[in-house]
Structure 1
């Protein structure tokens, strides 16, 4: 099979057969489903599809909607859940699905389900999330928390609380969602307490529960390191996470931040200094930045 490449060495898509990609991706999916216990590499999946790894990654994501690695994770996760449901131990499950040990299984569950294998085994896969709407200095906010910590913080846009709830449910609808303002009032008070111990109680940080791809979580962790009152460009953030060539991918991860304010995605601006693109409204982003700058100046 011949292939054409551009000047950067990336394979061009010259296929004229509308079914060729379907057959190639179907072959790769067969490999993943049948051999997931061997944890096939991207090169092996691409070889099954008859493509270069770079081209395969792009085509697979376009056809399946997720990356091949993410698809393999969900296949592995599905088998792991069945084993845990059948009362297999966490260690036994990890080894059975081709992972090196419980820590790898733990990482898989946290990345895909925001719970540990032990939590899944104890609760038969049901994650209870309590949520509520609360007033804040920056408008109405929706907060949600699992027993392990805060998993969602969004702002109501243009007074549309129903839309805010729908967005939250789209993200966490597989869990048991319980509206309970009394349960979330305490954490809301901590989040929006802008005194000397803002966001903490006895110096302890607010625990967060994050669910996303490894890349997204890496970007969100980098956001947590941006000091109050400071800005960073998408390019600088991309360099900070070791992906200087991918500021757009970093920007997409910033836009998917599920815990506003605490994970300060509002501190990312264009290199030109222009403030734009905030999931909860540009006006709110400007207000947050102005508030932090004023607060920092007052403390100084």
Structure 2
């Protein structure tokens, strides 16, 4: 069994993470980072991954993507954003970041211009439920008290995309998908298996994939998730990844609890989390 990093090493890795973020647009070979941390490259790689949840290279890639997205949102041209964020060429940026953006860089810069998104809203026993999808699959499922607010958030996120209700587009399997999810939430129907357009960091996607393997009626602690995905010291990062999930129920982050069995957090309210768990313990599939 591997030994957990000491508190001093944890602090050192946190400082190194801040250093990587500040220099994300620069080449950061492992040897340079090892020198900053006063560790051997092998020890650094292992310790950073244990503390942060991803390797230094993956962490830098995520921070570089964040900077690239911020520049696009700020109005920079794709070429300018490409080089300012440290990507060597536009071909490399299209290869590396399109998956993280969920669309091409030019479409993201334009607030989703050229992207087609359909949505549906239903009243459920958990409040209003919105589901939205791109051509790749479901990209957003949210609970709320006001359907108009949920739709407004979708428009705010993609101000220049073609966003329209399901049924007004030639591509509207979403309406049937929404019916299936609403039936699961309210009527004890099986949870539908739907195509997903999942957007997140490498670490977040590891967490979400594991959550999707947790069967209804079962729960896991954040620590158990961290162990299962090979990052036992990244418990806090697991909780953050659960909170970043934007696909309610389909990625069942409600099944993640604190080590003491308490509910922890839930993006859509602890009462909804509590009721979801009670229903699943009662035999919902």
Q: Which residue of 1 aligns with 2:150?
A: 164
Contact map agreement 1:151 1:208 (CA 8 A) in 2:
yes
Contact map agreement 1:131 1:181 (CA 8 A) in 2:
yes
User: What secondary structure is seen at the aligned counterpart in 2 of 1:140?
Assistant: strand
Find out whether 1:269 has 2:269 as its counterpart.
no
Q: Which residue of 2 aligns with 1:190?
A: 180
User: What secondary structure is seen at the aligned counterpart in 2 of 1:152?
Assistant: strand
Query: Cα deviation per residue 1:206-236 (whole Å; 9 max; x = unaligned)?
Result: 0000111111111111111110110000110
Q: Residues 247 and 70 of structure 1: is their aligned pair in 2 closer, same or farther, counting only changes over 3 Å?
A: same
Question: Please, which of 189, 196, 211 is the counterpart of residue 208 of structure 1?
Answer: 196
Deviation at 1:163, TM superposition (A): 4.0
Q: Which residue of 2 aligns with 1:178?
A: 163
Structure 2 gap segments, 5+ residues each: 1-5, 39-43, 49-58, 81-86
Q: Residues 270 and 26 of structure 1: is their aligned pair in 2 closer, same or farther, counting only changes over 3 Å?
A: closer
Q: Which residue of 1 aligns with 2:235?
A: 247
Count of residue correspondences: 239
Contact map agreement 1:42 1:68 (CA 8 A) in 2:
no
Contact map agreement 1:42 1:69 (CA 8 A) in 2:
no
Inter-partner Cα distance in structure 1 for 2:271 and 2:263: 9
Q: Which residue of 2 aligns with 1:151?
A: 139
Question: Please, which of 20, 41, 59 is the counterpart of residue 29 of structure 2?
Answer: 41
Structure 1 gap segments, 5+ residues each: 15-20, 58-66, 84-93
CA RMSD of aligned residues (A): 4.2
Identify the range of structure 1 (74-83 vs 283-292) with the bigger mean alpha-carbon deviation. Answer: 74-83
Q: Which has the larger radius of gyration?
A: 1
What TM-score comes out, normalization by structure 1 length?
A: 0.64
Aligned pairs for 1:1-300 (under 5 A) are 7-8=8-9, 10-11=11-12, 28=23, 32=25, 40-41=28-29, 43-44=31-32, 46=33, 51-52=36-37, 68-73=60-65, 82=79, 106=95, 108-111=97-100, 113-115=101-103, 126-156=114-144, 159-169=145-155, 172-173=157-158, 176-182=161-167, 183=172, 184-194=174-184, 198-200=190-192, 205-296=193-284
Q: Residues 245 and 166 of structure 1: is their aligned pair in 2 closer, same or farther, counting only changes over 3 Å?
A: farther
What TM-score comes out, normalization by structure 2 length?
A: 0.67
Inter-partner Cα distance in structure 2 for 1:13 and 1:289: 34
Inter-partner Cα distance in structure 2 for 1:215 and 1:26: 16
Inter-partner Cα distance in structure 2 for 1:261 and 1:12: 34
Higher RCO (CA < 8 A, seq sep 6+): 2
